[in-house]
Structure 1
Amino acid sequence: MKSVLKEVGNHKIEIHENYTFNHKANLNQYKQLFEELRKSGHLRAHSFSDITWHLYCPIKKKDMRLNFSVGKYNSFTSSLKSFVLLRRKSGIKPSTIKNDLWKLKKVITSTDGLRNEEVVKEYFLNKGITEGTYRICETLVRYLNFNPLPIKKLVTEIFEGLRYPVNKNRELPPFPDVLTFNDCVNRYFAEYSMEETLKFYPIFLWWTITNIIPLRPIEFLRIKVDCLDIRTDGSFWITIPRYKRESTSLDEVSWEQSILIDDKVYQMIKNYALRLEILNIKTEFLVPPLHLINERNRVSWSQGTGSVNQEVFYAFLMHFYEEVVEDKYGEFHHHKITPGDTRHFAIINLFLQGFNVLTIARLSGHEQITSPSNYFTHATHYATSFVYRLAQRKTEEDISSSMSDGLIGLNDKRVRRAQMDIDSDKDTENWRRVDYGFCKDIENFPNNCVEDCRLCQEHYVFKPHVNEWNEGIQWLENYSNELENHITDTLNIMAMVSTDTYESLKGIEKINENESKSLAVQLFKYLDHKAMVDARILEEQLENE
């Protein structure tokens, strides 16, 4: 059992106590611990002997049901109950305890009560070397340290032979789908009044706030309705709750953090809170019990508590997908965004904006980000999708047309169409011929020129001679590829800076955050330039179909 004796800032003194189960000698102490947790409201059951217990989860705001029935192996019941009590006393989350209890029951019943070494060997051999096998064996070793059985030595040897599972990148939805969802959210809350969108306004709050500040779903759902503050210098601040991933006590380990926000976010939250007040909706939290603002009959949003839990908010988000994203805007996504995804989007955005790891860790509510390279893997996909969508928007704004398939592969028909356009355009007689097109800026040429004609949106017109048309398209694509290489190189440098790998390279000095921000500015310049060039290629494809 682990507990904290003293904690000051980032320093803490922990006590680790080892317990060994003895049914005859010390069962009473676990019954006393049972009564302690029951009287304090952390556990619900009539007596220690009940087969079913309910552990209250302060984070999820609900009970976790534990069933200790192990069939013909019920001799394990008392030790399993005692093991559960010690783990909860040391701060292990009820959801983790429930999952670990299921693993122990499964391995006990699948190995004939952990009595035969050969049966236990075969069990783990058949499961193979996977993360799941490692987790089951890890839990079993922990249990056998508490309740020593003859099989303990063998299980420990098996566990030592397993490899620790490598942390994988979180599976995020495809970023084109993320950007489409973003469009739907912004359109819906811009096209309709607050009165019409009130039932879904928590979705707008969640999407806006958690894409700026890396928040866990529980942290967003526990933001107080009176979270805003204007300081004497006129700056706007929001106070948010923070929860530690791991606790060393029965209660949640939490604290509050104030973060600077802009006036738009401040006004959005303030207007919503004012609307709730006008409607006489009494709520402690920014997201009120959803049944107060949502009249949906098919699903009841009422929980009987003052706060919304994560499962209900997830169902609420899926309802928004159904009614708004799909029914109103005709967008159907197989991989939908979950409430926890936006925390990762926010961290990716902070990386792309040039914030260092320590700043991002502080804004994320923990001491350090252990695997920033994971976020850069996603950042590369994010940047690529961002360019593609930006190019699409530029094209749609210019020619009011829908997206077609692909960027390359223009056929002879399109070449002939391009030549017809040139022949019919009398204005070209007054324009200056430049690479694969014309410059319309006659009076101030070259004073208004940018670094490359392919980036000029105002004056450059792509209209090559018919026999140079394929070369012109290749010219555009070459520059697009060159910009893509610049984007990749810049992202790699930003990754190197943020993960401190530059310290191992000779001749490279430490780059401070201001220089990191400069890299971020350069990155978004490349992103915008590539979008311009890709939009021009898209426009040519659409116009010459």
Structure 2
Amino acid sequence: MNEIIPHVVLGTSAVRTLTVTEPFSVEMVETARTLFKEMNRKGVIINDSFEDNRWMTTDEVSRVTLNFGFNELSYKKWYEGCFGIPLSQFVEYTKAFYMHLFGSNVLKMLQTSLNDIRRIIRTDPEEVYGVNAKLNIVVPGVCIDFFSSFSEDNERVSELAEALEQYFYIYAGKNGKQRTLSRFNSYLNFDEAIKRFWKECDDTEMRLFYFPLYIWWEVTAIMPTRPKEFLLTERDCLTTDATGTYLKLRKNRLKGSGRSVHYKLDKDYYTINVKIPERISKALQWYLDETRDYDDTSINTLLITDTHYWKWRQKKHENSRFLTYVNLNTILRYFYAEVLEGMYGYHIAGYGEVTDYDAKNIERIHLGDSRHFSMISLMQQGGTPLLAMVMSGHEDEEMSMHYATNMSTLVECQTMRMYREIKKGNTEFLLSTMPQLEIKDRKKVKLTDGTYCDSVLFQNANMEDCYKAYGPDGEMGYCPGCRHHLTDGKSHFGSKSVYEREITERAKELITAVNNVRNERGCMETVGELVLRLKDATNGYQQFLIEKKMKEEANGKTETDQ
């Protein structure tokens, strides 16, 4: 029997790293020791010994301690059996992992993510997996890549890595964080890159390795799906009739439902059929044809593991039952290193790095991101009420509301990208039935309270714009919530925040209405109306942004929002 050595990708994590692909081994640790000496020589690491469990580091401004001391009792009780190595070896691997992060990340980030790992190791895994997890995990992406590096075949490790996805949204919810413009630009860059790769790549072996990532991205954009649900897609998943081709997906009926767990796929999951475009059905059929001669997985899933391990010239591992979360995460990490950076020349932005969203920068996305990004995008595009019902199946309404706060940023990012295409002559800007936008200042009238209104309709005794402005208690004609309301008489193009607020409020209304229907307290007609209102708000913001950009360029300057 051939000895199977697990591989590890130290790099392309949630932060900017050096890309190293090698097994966890004595040689890998020795490489880390060499890197340690180099950082010590440069004065970044003050300690002289790799064996020290507390490394003092400095960037000439501040000193940051990296503490590799782990709780021995909790490790032995909960994690030694999971990783299959003693604590001393675990510490060595942790040090080696972090040595490869030096030189590309700020020291504070290294300290924060290391503390996250230490916090996890002293916690009962059941608490980490829990729906109501209360751990404060600040940099879950690094933790996911770290734990994914131990073994791709260990289902306990895979469950741990997958469970950490929820901490992206727990931490964001606790801190009220909104995704940045560069973050959404990264989603759109990734979308362009993976579709370009699939179109251009003619290497069958390479296509088979990256197919799970490509089809995951495409499918989740149509139907927001959790990684585990996607990975459990059945082999016999395609049906075709006169109306088109349908993909059968599994959806978890347990998430936040309070139902009993049966430990059977047919009891814990239900299936839905989703209509898919021709390009996706062709890709799926290609994969089924290319892999028909391989053995089925133990639970007969669409994605096999033979073509995954061939990447490292290995046979399928004996304990590899199906393509796991860790396998898919490994493919994602290789895509960043091999394709985005290696083939297409993207700059992989470091954790916390502020990037110009016009430039060729890309941040690290995570497997759970796709579902949430597609939910925001579908809502912004006015997805059907039925689709809204499925995609808002988040058990925490407060977290669903968090999506709403990100929608205006996505609209802005998409609009700026569209404007660049307009400037290049690759597309025209036609909004609704308007043949052309006239770029001119809007006349303003002073109101009784000293503020101003630039609504042309209002100035002609037409209250239609007023009817669209709602207050926090539902009152109609609420001036502070109107896009035409100006507090100081300044340009219409300084009212960006009003548009953003309107989109957020319309999205929140839609989420509330959908949840009411799910709980049998509302009606589908209301959902349909709110979808249209949200679409109207996003269209208005797009028109505003493009008019604003055109006016700025016509004046030869950039105006800032007031």
Q: TM-score, normalised by structure 2?
A: 0.48
In the superposition, the TM-score normalised over structure 1's length comes to 0.49
User: Which is richer in helix?
Assistant: 1
